[in-house]
Amino acid sequence: MTLTTEQSAAEQFWSDADRHLVRYGGAFTPEIIERAAGSFVYTADGRQILDFTSGQMSAILGHCHPAIVQTVQREIASLDHLFSGMLSRPVVDLARRLAESLPPPLEKALLLTTGAESNEAAIRMAKLVTGKHEVVAFAKSWHGMTHAAAAATYSAGHRGYGPTPPGNFAIPTPNPYRPDFTTSDGELDWQRQLDFGFALVDAQSSGSLAACIVEPILSSGGIIEPPPGYFAALARKCRERGMLLIVDEAQTGLCRTGTWYAFQRDGIVPDILTLSKTLGAGLPLAAVITTEEIEQRAHERGYLFYTTHVSDPLVAAVGNTVLDVLQQEQMDLRARELGEFLRAGLLDIRDRHAVVGDVRGRGLMQGIELVLDRETRDGSDVLDAQVTHRCLELGLHMNVVQLPGMGSTFRIAPPLTTTREELALGLEILDQAIGEAAPA
């Protein structure tokens, strides 16, 4: 194919995309992706791009992992999709193995497809079991774009869509870098903030509080990790009000943060756990996991959550393979060690660039927040866009979260299979991009 022909094909591609695709968020990345392997994606014009977001924060084993490829090729030839009332061995095996990976009494699993769907199912279950309807979430949360999940999402997506279901309340996000309640030394006073948040909830509640849904590390909210002790106190607030605690580990679950589940750091056990993204390693697989008591009560009250792909065998087989690889290669330890390497590199970048205000996160889920001034902590959409664009030019895909009233945080979540050399390459490119884009 001649250069002219290649250019013509690319122009036709973007013309077709512009004419026929519904735009569903930010702008599309200006590259045609032909294939992906490991920690890299490859463009139609032959460029190699290091993927620091694991696709949509999902491909924790990298792109096209040989074990995943083998499982899909094998299973698609024998068992792909079934009627929702039929069961297969991969589904039951995955439910059992997820229960074995979790602390008791979490032992009952519902296998679905996406994070929004799993959160929808969890909230629906909590409402039915408690007989109540009100839901509490963080003010910078993201739980999905379906009905109940979107109502509990406050980082984006409300404006212009009309009223949400009644009984949805936001509490302040405990952000140590941008504290709204402070101690005498200027640190985040998270206990006072939490008390204030629930005082507002209590004032607005009709006495029908069903659940609180939270991410252990808020990803779309800007890689915000509540301080140690916060979630234990939040769990007490829920118990005092007869609420169920739903923990959404779409991005943090399955070894990414250096432990199998991020909630383990805080010594709590949620009433309902939701998994997605990482469970399918890039394929559409999600799970709702709860206790026998809650499942029994839900069943007695007629819990209904039929979906087209509930308990699908093909993706369940993939989920089992994901667990195999995570266990055999001790990916929790790997994420912890590589996370320390990544964090050290990010701290070094912060020390050399005044526009890096904060570095935070855990394991292979890290964030850096860019600011124009470390004292005022004011952000700049222009600077963020320049850094993102330059990173892509240099061969690194980055994702930046830009929210009103906050700076802008780059989410860094490379595959757990990444190497030190790949991390070092990404850090080198990011360092160069910030240096070139930052104001003198």
> How high does pLDDT run on average in the chain?
95
pLDDT at position 35, please? 97
3-state secondary structure 133-191: CEEEEECCCCCCCCHHHHHCCCCCCCCCCCCCCCCEEEECCCCCCCCCCECCCCCECHH
Whether the pLDDT of residue 47 is over 90: the answer is yes
Residue 120 annotated as catalytic: no
pLDDT at position 405, please? 55
How many whole angstroms separate alpha carbon 285 and alpha carbon 307? 13
The pLDDT tens digits for 62-101 are 999 999 999 999 999 999 999 999 999 999 999 999 999 9
Contact 272, 298 (CB under 8 A): no
pLDDT at position 111, please? 98
Q: Looking at the DSSP assignment, which residues form a beta bridge with residue 251?
A: none
Instruction: Kindly report the pTM of this predicted structure.
Output: 0.96
pLDDT at position 403, please? 64
pLDDT at position 310, please? 98
Q: Which of 5-14, 306-315, 367-376, 425-434 has the lowest mean pLDDT?
A: 5-14
Whether the pLDDT of residue 440 is over 60: the answer is no
Contact 422, 415 (CB under 8 A): no
pLDDT at position 380, please? 84
The pLDDT tens digits for 393-416 are 999 999 988 666 555 899 999 999
| C-beta pairs of 373-382 under 8 Å, 24+ apart in sequence | 377/177, 377/178, 377/407, 378/407, 379/406, 379/407, 379/408, 380/408, 381/408
The pLDDT tens digits for 128-176 are 999 999 999 999 999 999 999 999 999 988 999 999 999 999 999 999 9
3-64+330-437 and 69-328 agree in CATH topology? no
Q: How far is CA 117 from CA 143, 149, 348, in A?
A: 9, 8, 39
pLDDT at position 407, please? 59
Please provide the DSSP assignment of 203-224 as one string.
Answer: HH--S-EEEEEE-SSBTTTTSB
3-class state of residue 395 by DSSP:
coil
Buried b (16+ CB within 10 A) or exposed e, 97-119: bbbebbeeebbbbbbbbbbbbbb
Phi, psi angle pair for 345, to nearest 5°? -65, -40
How many whole angstroms separate alpha carbon 424 and alpha carbon 431? 10
pLDDT at position 408, please? 86
Whether the pLDDT of residue 119 is over 60: the answer is yes
Domain ranges of the chain: 3-64+330-437, 69-328
How many whole angstroms separate alpha carbon 8 and alpha carbon 72? 35
Peptide bond into 227 cis (omega under 30): no
Catalytic residue among 108, 251, 343, 390: 251
Find the Cα–Cα–Cα–Cα dihedral 225, 229, 231, 236, rounded to 10°: -160
Question: What would the mean pLDDT of 284-312 be, rounded to a whole number?
Answer: 98
Catalytic residue among 51, 142, 332, 360: 142
Residue 215 annotated as catalytic: yes
The pLDDT tens digits for 183-199 are 999 999 999 999 999 99
Question: What would the mean pLDDT of 301-325 be, rounded to a whole number?
Answer: 97
Question: What would the mean pLDDT of 318-332 be, rounded to a whole number?
Answer: 98
The pLDDT tens digits for 331-346 are 999 999 999 999 999 9
Catalytic residue among 312, 343, 411, 422: 411
Residue 260 annotated as catalytic: no
Residue 142 annotated as catalytic: yes
Q: What percent of the chain has pLDDT over 90?
A: 92
Question: What would the mean pLDDT of 111-129 be, rounded to a whole number?
Answer: 98
Residue 14 annotated as catalytic: no
Catalytic residue among 51, 75, 117, 215: 215
The pLDDT tens digits for 225-280 are 999 999 999 999 999 999 999 999 999 999 999 999 999 999 999 999 999 999 99
Residue 411 annotated as catalytic: yes
The closest alpha carbon to 87, from 113, 61, 110, 107, belongs to: 110
Catalytic residue among 108, 237, 256, 277: 277
pLDDT at position 6, please? 78
The closest alpha carbon to 134, from 123, 146, 150, 119, belongs to: 123
pLDDT at position 401, please? 80
Homologous superfamily (CATH) of 3-64+330-437 is Aspartate Aminotransferase, domain 1 (3.90.1150.10)
Whether the pLDDT of residue 112 is over 70: the answer is yes
Contact 121, 310 (CB under 8 A): no
Contact 214, 246 (CB under 8 A): yes
Catalytic residue among 120, 134, 225, 248: 248
Q: How far apart are the first and last CA of the chain?
A: 44
Architecture of the domain delimited by 69-328: 3-Layer(aba) Sandwich (3.40)
Contact 418, 364 (CB under 8 A): yes
Contact 18, 12 (CB under 8 A): no
